[in-house]
Copies of this chain bind each other. A is one copy, B any other.
Amino acid sequence: MDTMGRHVIAELWNCNMDKLNDINYIEKVFVDAALRAGAEVREVAFHKFAPHGVSGVVIISESHLTIHSFPEHGYASIDVYTCGDRIDPNVAADYIVEALEAQTNESVEVPRGMGPVEVKQSKAL
């Protein structure tokens, strides 16, 4: 398999606080996001923290999606990393942004597996 990959790092602010604290909802959103992007889901692991916050990962054949949510801050830290050129990580990231009702999405896309790490593009929506 080729080492080339695309890694979207997204900082989501002003999200729906209730959704950020709902582990079942977040797990479903992340699996759905992977599938919508055309990825193959391999492992799913999510954890709920007390009193609030969810961390989780979906390992896909093409790499991974992760989240760490901070409901009390309306913030979610998202990573969508896909290897190869068949899948666009932004399809999954955009789906997650919408599902968490993020009002602000600050993201960068980092190319992976191609040599030194460089930031390819940044955007604030």
Residues of chain A having any CB pair with chain B under 8 Å: 1, 3, 5, 7, 9-11, 42-47, 49, 53, 55-57, 59, 61, 63-64, 66, 68, 70, 72-73, 75, 77, 79, 81, 83, 106-108, 110, 112-113, 115-117, 119, 122, 124
Contact = CB atoms under 8 A, between A and B. Distances in A.
Contact of A47 (B1, B43, B79): B43
B57 A117 contact: no
A34 to B, nearest CB: 13
A64 B73 contact: no
Q: Identify whether the interface residues of A are mostly helix, strand, loop, or mixed.
A: strand
B63 A83 contact: no
Given A42-B55, A43-B47, A57-B57, A79 B79 contact: yes
